[in-house]
Amino acid sequence: MKVIRNAVWMLAGGIFLLGITGPVAHAAENASGAALTVEAAKALSNAEFLVGMAKNKKSLWTTAAGALTQAQEAAKKQDSEAVIRYSAVASEQAFLGLAQSGYPLTGAD
Amino acid sequence: MYQFPTSIRAAGACLILIAGFIQTVRADEPKAPTGQELAFDNRKGNCLACHAMPGDSKAVTNTNIAPPLISMKERFPDRAKLYAQLWDASKANADSLMPPFGKHKILSDDEINKVVDYIYGL
Amino acid sequence: MKQLIWIMSCLGWLAIAANAQAAPEDHRLKVVKAVQKIYPAIKFEDYVHGALAFSPDAKDQYDAIMAFPPYDAEIEKGAKLWETPFKNGKRYADCFPREGRNVAGNYPLFDAATKKVVTFEMALNQCRTANGEDPYKHSDMNTMGLLTAYARTLSDGMKMNIKVEGKEALAAFEAGQKFFHQRRGQLNFSCAGCHISNVGNVLRTEYLSMAPGQATHWPAFRGGDYALFTLQRRYAACNQMVRLAPLEIGGEEYNNLEYYHSYLSNGLPLKASVFRK
């Protein structure tokens, strides 16, 4: 009887602990002061370059600018995975904006 | 009837509560939007801005700029052609006003496929 | 013989000068004729009403609001800005012919000295700086916006009268023309795609206005909260809508655009501080 009771308590306690340590461990991994990975830093730098170029050419899309802002916020939080993800969007959208200035004019007159 | 001791009942109750909590957390994940939702959403397809959809009673619009979306299976027997039209309409008509949903990554490939599936039903 | 050569060369120069004006005028006539062809029932003077020209109900609503504009107090603020003398005692009226009456239709003009397009707002700022005041920010609706909300009404009824003379002016006009016809933003729209090629069609619930006439009615008080919009603030908003990061209000691109865009409205009467949805 006692065995069953103890087993159930241990099980409950174990599940409870698992529930809280998961996210805490994950956050600790990020907040441990680990700087951005080299890959993330490079991705961010590329995105900043392309967005700057699009801005100079007056072809910057709001989607590129927005994604870069999100990448920079992620960089402040040392979230390398998010930096890479948002930088990729920013770079791609900035590149498309630059390419757009080569599209033919509409209703050519 | 065997009576569980209080401590076991308490432990059992804890287990059930935790299980319930986990279930609630998982249920908060957003459901992926349907093709119709993507088509109607003015931050996504926004199709109703330009296309009437007489076959869908939920489709409310006054637009007349672009062809109405009806008999789509007859008009686009080749699904790939309809996909291509959403991907970059300017290929078929250089002056098209239709945004290039795929080329400019306004919609993901998965989203375009969902919208194509929805349109095929009109 | 000498006289003949002299006459021939004069005629030659006249022809070239006429040609410099010809290209913009040909283009404007083409755009206007295209609207007249599809909508022969809409009178040319009514192009200034834009989308309202297609909907009698919307036009009635507009007329009702214009009878007693709820934003009169804002125009009053603009009048105060216009009439208050500068620190040195001079006034805006001293900077313009006819004390500022019937001048706005000449802007934007091309300044041969600086080789740049000069908008009415820039001319107001030139007046300020010439009299020892700091220039207003073009994007500030509380200063430049309100000032023009009154100053432009002094030209109500004047016909738009933009001139494109000389090859540098033509280059600025063509830069604006290119901007108007170029696809922009993630949504890939051009101004011309809607406002030249799809005039009178309905986008969601709104009629698309014709390009000739658009530049005549600014600033506008828009929507339920009567927000003040100068024409270039509207350019920025349209650009934002197609997902292009807006360019600088008062910058060269929008100035060249306004030069071309206003030229398309030549011959149409100005009316400032109107309501728009």
Domain containing B68 — which CATH number? 1.10.760.10
Q: Is residue B9 part of a domain?
A: no
By residue range, what is the domain housing residue A18? 1-32
Share of chain C above pLDDT 90, in %: 90
Residue A109 falls inside a structural domain: no
What percentage of chain C exceeds 70 in pLDDT?
Answer: 95
User: What pLDDT was estimated at residue B25?
Assistant: 55
- How many Cα atoms are found within 13 Å in the side-chain-facing hemisphere of B1? 1
Same domain, A47 and A20: no
Residues of B in contact with C187 (CB under 8 A): 99, 104, 106
* C63, two tokens: 């007329």
Higher pLDDT, B28 or C107: C107
Indicate the residue type of C38: I
Global pTM value: 0.85
pLDDT band at C7 (very low <50, low <70, confident <90, very high): confident
Of A10-14, C241-245, C272-276, the poorest mean pLDDT is in: A10-14
Look up residue C142 and give its DSSP letter: I
Query: Which residue in chain B has the smallest CA separation from C188?
Result: B99
Domain count, chain A: 2
What burial class does residue B44 get, using C-beta atoms within 10 Å of its C-beta: 0-12 exposed, 13-18 middle, 19+ buried? middle
Q: Do A104 and B94 touch (CB under 8 A)?
A: yes
CATH class of C72-155: mainly alpha
User: How far is the C-alpha of B119 from the C-alpha of B122, rounded, in Å?
Assistant: 5
Question: Which two tokens mark A60?
Answer: 């910057």
Q: Is C55 on the interface with B (CB under 8 A)?
A: no
Contact residues on chain A for B5, CB-CB shorter than 8 A: 1, 5
C10: annotated active-site residue: no
Cβ-based interface (< 8 Å): residues of A facing C: 55, 58-65, 93, 96-97, 100-101, 103, 105-109
Residues A25 and A67 grouped into a single domain: no
Say if strands C116-118 and C202-203 run parallel, antiparallel, or are unpaired: unpaired
Residues 6+ apart with CB under 8 A from C186: A61, A62, A63, A93, A96, A97, B99, B104, B106, C242, C243, C244
DSSP B38-94: HHH-TTTT-GGGT---TT-TT------SS----SHHHH-SSHHHHHHHHH-GGGT-T
Contact B14 A4 (CB under 8 A): no
> What pLDDT sits at residue A2?
79
Q: Which among A6, A8, A62 is the top mutation candidate for probing chain B, defined by the most B β-carbons within 10 Å of its own β-carbon?
A: A8
Query: Does the distance separating the beta carbons of B104 and C186 come in below 8 Å?
Result: yes
Q: Give the separation between CA C277 and CA C270, rounded to whole angstroms.
A: 19
- The answer to whether position B13 is within a domain reads no
Domain count, chain B: 1
Indicate the pLDDT class of residue C164, thresholds 50, 70 and 90: very high
Average pLDDT over residues C202-230: 95
User: Are the beta carbons of C188 and B90 separated by less than 8 Å?
Assistant: yes
Interface of C with A in 26-65 (CB under 8 A): 27, 30
Residue B24 lies in a domain: no
Q: Span B75-88, mean pLDDT?
A: 96
Measured distance CA(C163)–CA(C106) in Å, rounded: 8
Q: Are residues A66 and A79 in the same domain?
A: yes
User: From the candidates C127, C191, C194, C238, which is the catalytic residue?
Assistant: C238
Query: Is A66 found in the same domain as A85?
Result: yes
Residues A59 and A11 in one domain: no
B18 pLDDT tier (thresholds 50, 70, 90)? low
Which chain B residues have a beta carbon less than 8 Å from that of C208?
65
Same domain (yes/no): A77, A96: yes
Residue spans of the domains in chain C: they are: 24-69+165-276, 72-155
Question: Is some CB atom of chain A closer than 8 A to the CB atom of C194?
Answer: no
pLDDT of C37: 96
Residues A56, A70: one domain?
yes
Where would I find the H helices in C142-190? 146-151, 167-181
The confidence score (pLDDT) of residue A107 equals: 81
Local structure of C192: helix, strand or coil: helix
C186/B97 CB distance under 8 A: no
* Architecture of the domain made up of C24-69+165-276: Orthogonal Bundle (1.10)
| Predicted confidence band of residue A20 (pLDDT cuts 50, 70, 90) | low
Domain co-membership, A73 together with A95: yes
Per-residue confidence (pLDDT) for residue C13, from 0 to 100: 65
pLDDT 10s digits, C68-104: 999 999 999 999 999 999 999 999 999 999 999 999 9
Lowest-confidence pick of C20-34, C89-103, C199-213: C20-34
C-beta of residue B76 within 8 angstroms of C-beta of residue B121: no
**What pLDDT shows up at residue A30?**
47
Q: Is residue B99 part of a domain?
A: yes
Q: Residue C205's pLDDT is what?
A: 86
Rounded to an integer, the average pLDDT of C112-118 is 97
The residues facing C118 across adjacent strands are C109
Please tell me what DSSP assigns to residue B32: P
Residue B28 has pLDDT above 70, yes or no: no
- Domain region containing B75: 32-120
How many contacts does A have with C, using Cβ atoms within 8 A? 56
Which chain B residues have any C-beta within 8 angstroms of a chain C C-beta? Answer: 48-50, 61-65, 90, 95, 97, 99-100, 104, 106
Q: In terms of pLDDT, which residue wins out, A94 or B20? A: A94
Contact C247/A56 with Cβ under 8 angstroms?
A: no
Indicate yes or no: CB of C201 within 8 angstroms of CB of B65.
yes
